Structure 1
Amino acid sequence: MTDLTLYDCLESGNGHKVRLMLSLLDIDYTLVLKDIHKGETRTPEFLAINPIGRIPTLQFSDGRVLAESNAILCYLAEGSDYLPQDRFARAQVLSWLMWEQYEHEPNIAVARFWMHHQEMTPERVKLLTEKQEKGRKALDLMEMNFTYANWAVGNDPTVADVSLYSYTSVAEEGGIDLAPYPAIRKWLDRMAALPGFIPMEPFEDTK
């Protein structure tokens, strides 16, 4: 039995970040899948583990639980090259992680989810267009960074790259074309070449 149990849903980019980090670091864990579309993260049993009722959730053998994907990434990467020891570089990584959850994920991930799991009413079509436009603006910033740098921070991949990778890699599933972003596409290739890399799972429509 492993010391770590990850509760996850394979189509979740936030969950994929954690599975990718575990794989890159070659950390053993037990995977317990939860179907978010069937309310499996809202059962009394799961809420007793994580009262927020969301995945990914990482549980330790002593019963402790850690939620929020980027917090989990930082915990797992502690002591590795994926989390810089330099004070300023670490702050830069944290800056990317906060930006990812504030500007990137709420637009690119939501556009992807709506297109596969929501009935597209006229109101939602309008909102989807707004999400896609904001998603492109987020990618514009990333394109600028990767035009001049191979990685988000410094000369090597960090948890910032892991966090940004998952939903960026499937942006086209949310109607956001990656063709105008050559630097991002090269960065995606660099990520895919890392030892231990695992890709996102394909999306299955539930509409």
Structure 2
Amino acid sequence: MPPLTIYGNSGSGNCLKVKWVAQHLGLPFVWEEVDVPAGGTRTPAMLALNPAGRVPFVVLPGGEVLSESNAIIAYLAEGTALIPQAALARARMLQWMFWEQYSHEPYIAVRRYQLHYLGRDPADLDPKLKERGEDALRLMEASLGRAPYLSGDALSLADIALVAYTRMAHESGFDLAPYERLRDWITRVETGLGIGPYA
């Protein structure tokens, strides 16, 4: 069977989570690096594959194209231990994955892009990005007081989806020092995935 092809950018947490799931599950894949700042997602060839003009997206072995990071990892992990079998635990996993795209990524990842890539002054940014990012980190810290992973006692897609930008939060101007459980969780997830710590 031909390998999966992942189109992504190595600086993007949304892209990395797809790569990590494929690696963790031992799926053969080819990584195609896309230069997003240079307009790499907007070329005619790329738009022909993914009209949404974003990465990540994958070309499956049968030629089908699938986009949106959390949809991709859910497809890749179908039938594996990364998706809990129990209905409530599975729903908790999905709850966190939906929350990640609505209440975490829009603040922590967006602030990172503004500071780390565009070099903007923190004083010029919308203060709600920092406020709501801190809200997200506090919620995760509190939730990790109940179980070692977000949806229970085992690593799931929820953890992979949320660790991607959480471990980069210092580049967004967030200090993780007050969040002991969150820092321990990041280390657990990195160890479970076999990836090194983010410098």
TM-score, normalised with respect to structure 1 = 0.91
Say which SS state the counterpart of residue 82 (structure 2) adopts. coil
CA contact (8 A) 1:104 1:138 kept: yes
Distance 1:14 1:199 in 2: 17
Tell me which residue corresponds to 1:161.
Answer: 159
- Please give the residue correspondences for 1:1-207 in structure 2 after superposition, counting only pairs within 5 Å: 2-118=2-118, 120=120, 125-127=124-126, 129-194=127-192, 196-199=193-196
**Cα distance per residue 1:111-163 (max 9 Å; x no partner):** 110002225368x7241x32122111000000001122100112101000000
The letter for the 1-side match of 2:195 is I
The letter for the 1-side match of 2:163 is Y
Say which SS state the counterpart of residue 6 (structure 1) adopts. strand
CA contact (8 A) 2:167 2:198 kept: no
CA contact (8 A) 1:6 1:56 kept: yes
Distance 1:33 1:176 in 2: 28
Say which SS state the counterpart of residue 155 (structure 2) adopts. coil
CA contact (8 A) 1:9 1:56 kept: yes
Distance 2:125 2:8 in 1: 31
CA contact (8 A) 2:168 2:198 kept: no
Structure 2: segments with no counterpart, 5+ residues: none
The letter for the 2-side match of 1:184 is L
Structure 1: segments with no counterpart, 5+ residues: 203-207
* CA shift in 2, pair 1:66/1:200, >3 Å: farther
TM-score, normalised with respect to structure 2 = 0.94
Deviation at 1:201, TM superposition (A): 6.9
Whose relative contact order is higher, 1 or 2, with alpha carbons under 8 Å and at least 6 apart? 1
**Cα distance per residue 1:3-23 (max 9 Å; x no partner):** 310000000000011111111
Distance 2:49 2:129 in 1: 32
What is the count of residue pairs matched by the alignment? 199
CA contact (8 A) 1:13 1:200 kept: no
**RMSD of equivalent CA atoms:** 1.7
**Cα distance per residue 1:25-76 (max 9 Å; x no partner):** 1111000010001101000000000000111101013220110000111111
